[in-house]
């Protein structure tokens, strides 16, 4: 229940001081066994690090792109890495022995590729671009190559993020035109109709299921809840949007906050979301028993001002801040937080990426990681009592 959230704890497990080699990180992804992390140090390369003994060591450098790598995703089942870049190209990397071998994916873009994500079944991946286009890429067995089908003429500006519904068919996108859209990506011969929801059961490839015009500015960071019944995205106007009952008559909630805008979000569970952005510290949002979403607090705040939500007091001590490994053994004292002051702690610059690291069987997140323009990758652990199931 909602009251059990008082047992929940967030703490820092470790940080990868990638800024020793890079001033900022564009994006990152984890290997299926979580022993290696791949990230772009704001360059044309992808660096892969493995934890060895007591430190992180670079074991691979993927070099194929001509411009900054803007998106990385590492498939859990097939152990493939997909990368996209401002050079308008995408590569799928397969590990052969001790080497990573790239395969070019023809995206047919005339602008930069900005984001990428594998579908849940990993038989497709989606690429958002500055060409107002989304590329749905899949492997063609007959010709032994990756091909793409394009969703065109739907967006009025750059596609900033993509997110797959758990059914492997629906795809959510956000754009700098301020809109969030849901599309069907059904591809004959690749997908099966029995996996589609009622919304996409008869929809053709590229058909727009829904369009939301709630944001008055750029939109970023769309994500689905574990069940796929809810999704959230953020606006550059310091606002987060929660959408339920996806369909002809969706239910939408808008939560505005006083601080700097978010860039990305992630569902920890069906009723809790973590957002990251320009305030350099993750923010928590949660829904009460009536389904009303509200801002809770920053992760490293112990004391917060009274919330407008009647459940705000129950969250006042819900999240604690642990020590940052490699820093002072006394940790960081955050017992008192001045609401008007800038937050910080682990990250010292904008956090531009948040991804799940460990999930429970029900899809809830047990660990996640963040990376930012300060050149750090931080791993966050969610602890709970034995009688609490997230």
Beta 69-74 vs 55-63: how paired, if at all?
unpaired
What confidence category does residue 343 fall into, taking pLDDT thresholds of 50, 70 and 90? low
Pick the residue with more confidence: 261 or 320?
261
At 52, phi and psi to the nearest 5?
A: -130, 120
pLDDT computed for residue 199 by the predictor: 67
- For the segment 62-87, the average pLDDT, to the nearest whole number, is 96
Cβ(67)–Cβ(112) below 8 Å: yes
- Which ranges in the chain belong to alpha helices (H)? 312-315
Of the candidates 170, 166, 361, 359, which has an alpha carbon nearest to the alpha carbon of residue 268? 359
Cβ(160)–Cβ(183) below 8 Å: no
Sign of CA dihedral 346, 350, 354, 357: negative
DSSP code of residue 191: B
CB contact set of 361 (below 8 Å; sequence gap of 6+): none
* C-alpha distance across the termini of the chain, in Å: 9
pLDDT digits (tens, 9 = 90+) for 143-182: 888 999 999 999 999 999 999 999 999 999 999 999 999 9
How far is the C-alpha of 84 from the C-alpha of 117, rounded, in Å? 10
Query: Strands across the sheet with 55-63, in order?
Result: 27-30, 36-40, 45-52, 55-63
DSSP code of residue 382: E
- For the segment 200-227, the average pLDDT, to the nearest whole number, is 91
pLDDT computed for residue 63 by the predictor: 96
Cβ(9)–Cβ(320) below 8 Å: yes
> pTM for the whole thing?
0.84
Q: How many CB atoms lie within 10 A of CB 33?
A: 8
Buried b (16+ CB within 10 A) or exposed e, 277-296: bbbbbbbbbbbbeeeebbbb
CB contact set of 333 (below 8 Å; sequence gap of 6+): none
Tokens of 337: 């937080």
Question: What is the DSSP secondary-structure string of 319-352?
Answer: ------TTS-TT----SS--TTSPP-SS-SS-EE
pLDDT digits (tens, 9 = 90+) for 107-138: 999 999 999 999 999 999 999 999 999 999 99
pLDDT computed for residue 279 by the predictor: 92
| Confidence check: pLDDT of 312 > 60 | no
């Amino acid at each position: 229940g909602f009251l059990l959230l008082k047992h929940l704890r967030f703490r820092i497990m470790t940080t990868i001081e990638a800024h020793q080699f890079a001033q900022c990180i564009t994006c990152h992804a984890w290997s299926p066994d979580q022993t290696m992390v791949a990230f772009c140090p704001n360059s044309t390369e992808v660096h892969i690090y493995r934890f060895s003994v007591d430190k992180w060591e670079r074991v691979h450098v993927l070099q194929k792109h001509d411009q900054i790598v803007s998106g990385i995703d590492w498939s859990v089942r097939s152990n493939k890495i997909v990368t996209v870049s401002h050079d308008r190209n995408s590569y799928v990397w397969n590990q052969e022995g001790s080497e990573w071998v790239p395969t070019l994916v023809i995206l047919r873009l005339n602008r930069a590729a900005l984001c990428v994500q594998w579908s849940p079944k990993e038989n497709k991946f989606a690429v958002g671009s500055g060409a107002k286009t989304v590329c749905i890429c899949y492997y063609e067995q007959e010709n032994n190559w990756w091909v793409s089908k394009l969703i065109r003429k739907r967006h009025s500006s750059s596609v900033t993020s993509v997110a797959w519904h758990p059914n492997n068919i629906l795809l959510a996108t956000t754009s700098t035109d301020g809109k969030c859209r849901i599309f069907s990506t059904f591809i004959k011969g690749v997908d099966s109709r029995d996996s589609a929801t009622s919304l996409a059961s008869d929809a053709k490839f590229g058909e727009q299921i829904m369009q939301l015009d709630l944001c008055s500015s750029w939109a970023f960071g769309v994500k689905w809840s574990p069940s796929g019944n809810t999704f959230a995205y953020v606006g550059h106007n310091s606002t987060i949007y929660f959408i339920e009952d996806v369909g002809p008559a969706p239910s939408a909630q808008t939560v505005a906050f006083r601080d700097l805008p978010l860039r990305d979000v992630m569902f920890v569970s069906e009723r809790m979301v973590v957002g990251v952005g320009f305030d350099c510290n993750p923010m928590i949002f949660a829904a009460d028993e009536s389904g009303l979403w509200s801002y809770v607090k920053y992760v490293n705040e112990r004391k917060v001002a009274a919330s407008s939500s009647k459940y705000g007091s129950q969250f006042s001590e819900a999240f604690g801040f642990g020590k940052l490994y490699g820093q002072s053994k006394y940790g960081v004292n955050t017992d008192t937080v001045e609401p008007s002051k800038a937050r910080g702690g682990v990250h010292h610059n904008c956090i531009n990426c948040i991804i799940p690291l460990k999930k429970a069987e029900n899809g809830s997140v047990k660990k996640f990681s963040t990376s930012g323009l300060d050149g750090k990758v931080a791993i966050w652990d969610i602890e709970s009592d034995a009688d609490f199931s997230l």
